[in-house]
C-alpha cells in the first residue's frame, strides 16, 4: 500500500501506451467517428454488466466476512475492500497485489489478520473452483468450434487450465498445511530482516503464530458451512456470467447479430484464461492480442481495433478508475468497529 506512486505511474504509462496504439493504428478522427456509430443501448448494457461484476464480487466477500467476523457497516466496507482489491489486482503482475491490499484494508478496519486471511483464502478457493468449472464447461461445449478457427488453441487452453489448477492446488495446500505455511512465512520474514525491513523477527513470528492458529482454524470453515459457501459460489457464478457477457454487448453495439451469446461468452472464458499466463499488469499487450486473435472471427477487420478499445476501457481501465477512488480514501479509514 506504500507504493501508490509507483502503481500510479504504472497505470498512467500503460494507458498512454494503450491509447497511443489506437491513435497510431486507427487515427483519432476515425476512432471517434466509429465510436459515435455504436448503439448506445448495448454500450450501456455492457457498462451495467461491469457494475454487476463489481457488485457480485463484493457480495462474495460480504457473505463470507459476515459469517467469520461481522463488523459495523460491513456491507459498505465490503464495497471498499473489494474495489481496493480490484485496483491493486489490475496494476500488479498476475493480479498478485489484490489479496495483500484487501488484507491490509480489512485489518485497518478492525478485522484481525488471521480472520481476514481466512476470508480471502475461502473466497479465492471458491473463485478458482468456479473458474475451473466454467473453463471445463466451455472446453466441453465449444472446444471444437474454436480449435478449428484459432491457431495453437489447444496449447493455450491447456496452459491456462494448468496454471489455474496449480494455483488452486497451492492455495488448498497453504490453507490446510500449517507447517508449510509457517515455514514459508518464516522464510519471508528472514528475507525481510536481511534487507532491514523487519527489525525483530522473533516478535513478528510470535504474532504470526497466533494469527496462523486462527487462520487454519477458520480454513476448515469452508467444509462446515456448506450453505454459506453455496451462496458465495452462486454470487461468484453470477459475477463471471456478467463479466463474460460484456463482449457480446460490445459485439451487438456494432450492429452484428450472427454469433450467439454462449459462443461469445466462451470466447471470453478462453481469453481470460489465456491472459493468466501474461506476467504483466492487466496482461497488457497479451489481452489486446488475445482479443484480436479470438474475436477477429466475429468482427470485421475495420471494426476489431475499435472493439478492443471499448472492451479494454470497460473491463480494465474503468476498474482502475473506480478502484483508485477507494484506494485514495483508504488512509482516512481507521479501526471503527
Higher-confidence residue of 14 and 313: namely 313
Collapse the DSSP code of 71 into the 3-class scheme (helix H, G, I; strand E, B; otherwise coil) and give the result: coil
What is the distance in angstroms between the CA of the first residue and the CA of the last residue of the chain? 22
Instruction: Specify the number of domains making up the chain.
Output: 1
C-alpha span between 306 and 37 (Å, rounded):
11
Q: Within a domain: residue 182?
A: yes
**Across residues 170-182, what is the average pLDDT?**
67
User: Does 36 have pLDDT greater than 80?
Assistant: yes
Q: Within a domain: residue 294?
A: yes
Rg (CA), the chain: 21
Residue 294: all three cell numbers together = 479470438
Hey, which of 230-239, 282-291, 317-326 has the most confident mean pLDDT?
230-239
Nearest to 238, CA basis, from 60, 35, 15, 7? 60
% of the chain residues with pLDDT over 90: 40
Bridge partners (DSSP) of residue 281 are: 93
pLDDT band at 1 (very low <50, low <70, confident <90, very high): very low
Residue 289: all three cell numbers together = 492480442
Q: Within a domain: residue 336?
A: no
User: Does 186 have pLDDT greater than 50?
Assistant: yes
For position 318, what pLDDT does the model report? Answer: 93
Q: Within a domain: residue 104?
A: yes
Q: Within a domain: residue 114?
A: yes
Angle formed at CA 131 by CA 277 and CA 211, multiple of 5 degrees? 90
Residue 228: all three cell numbers together = 454459506
C-alpha span between 316 and 301 (Å, rounded):
23
Q: Within a domain: residue 337?
A: no
For position 161, what pLDDT does the model report? Answer: 83
The residue range of the domain holding 267 is: 4-331
* pLDDT tens profile 40-52: 999 999 999 999 9
Q: What region does 177 belong to: left with phi over 0, alpha with psi -120 to 50, or beta? A: beta
pLDDT band at 334 (very low <50, low <70, confident <90, very high): very low
Q: Within a domain: residue 66?
A: yes
* pLDDT tens profile 265-275: 999 999 998 88
Residue 11: all three cell numbers together = 497505470
* pLDDT tens profile 294-312: 999 999 988 999 999 999 9
Residue 89: all three cell numbers together = 489486482
Phi, psi at residue 93, to the nearest 5°?
-60, 135
Amino acid at each position: 500500500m506504500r507504493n501508490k506512486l509507483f502503481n500510479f505511474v504504472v497505470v498512467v504509462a500503460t494507458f498512454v501506451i494503450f491509447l497511443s496504439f489506437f491513435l497510431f493504428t486507427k487515427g483519432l478522427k476515425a476512432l471517434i467517428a466509429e465510436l459515435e456509430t455504436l448503439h448506445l443501448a448495448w454500450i450501456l448494457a455492457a457498462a451495467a454488466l461491469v457494475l454487476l461484476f463489481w457488485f457480485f464480487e463484493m457480495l462474495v466477500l460480504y457473505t463470507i466476512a459476515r459469517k467469520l467476523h461481522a463488523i459495523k457497516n460491513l456491507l459498505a466496507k465490503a464495497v471498499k475492500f473489494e474495489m481496493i482489491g480490484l485496483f491493486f489486482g489490475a496494476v500488479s503482475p498476475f493480479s498478485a497485489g489484490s489479496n495483500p491490499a484487501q488484507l491490509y484494508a480489512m485489518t485497518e478496519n478492525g478485522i484481525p489478520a488471521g480472520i481476514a486471511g481466512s476470508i480471502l483464502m475461502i473466497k479465492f478457493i471458491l473463485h478458482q473452483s468456479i473458474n475451473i468449472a466454467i473453463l471445463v464447461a466451455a472446453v466441453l461445449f465449444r472446444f471444437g468450434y474454436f480449435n478449428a478457427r484459432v491457431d495453437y488453441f489447444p496449447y493455450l487452453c491447456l496452459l491456462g487450465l494448468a496454471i489455474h489448477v496449480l494455483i488452486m492446488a497451492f492455495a488448498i495446500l497453504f490453507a490446510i498445511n500449517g507447517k508449510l505455511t509457517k515455514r514459508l512465512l518464516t522464510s519471508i520474514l528472514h528475507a525481510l530482516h536481511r534487507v532491514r525491513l523487519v527489525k525483530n523477527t522473533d516478535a513478528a513470528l510470535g504474532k504470526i503464530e497466533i494469527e496462523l492458529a486462527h487462520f487454519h482454524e477458520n480454513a476448515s470453515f469452508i467444509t462446515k458451512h456448506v450453505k454459506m459457501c453455496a451462496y458465495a459460489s452462486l454470487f461468484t457464478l453470477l459475477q463471471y456470467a456478467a463479466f463474460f457477457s460484456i463482449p457480446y454487448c460490445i459485439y451487438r453495439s456494432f450492429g452484428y447479430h450472427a454469433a450467439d451469446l454462449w459462443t461469445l461468452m466462451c470466447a471470453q472464458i478462453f481469453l481470460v484464461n489465456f491472459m493468466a499466463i501474461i506476467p504483466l499488469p492487466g496482461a497488457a499487450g497479451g489481452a489486446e492480442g488475445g482479443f484480436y486473435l479470438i474475436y477477429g472471427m466475429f468482427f470485421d477487420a475495420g471494426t476489431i481495433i475499435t472493439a478492443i478499445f471499448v472492451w479494454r476501457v470497460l473491463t480494465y481501465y474503468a476498474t482502475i478508475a473506480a478502484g483508485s477512488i477507494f484506494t485514495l480514501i483508504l488512509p482516512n479509514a481507521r479501526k471503527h468497529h
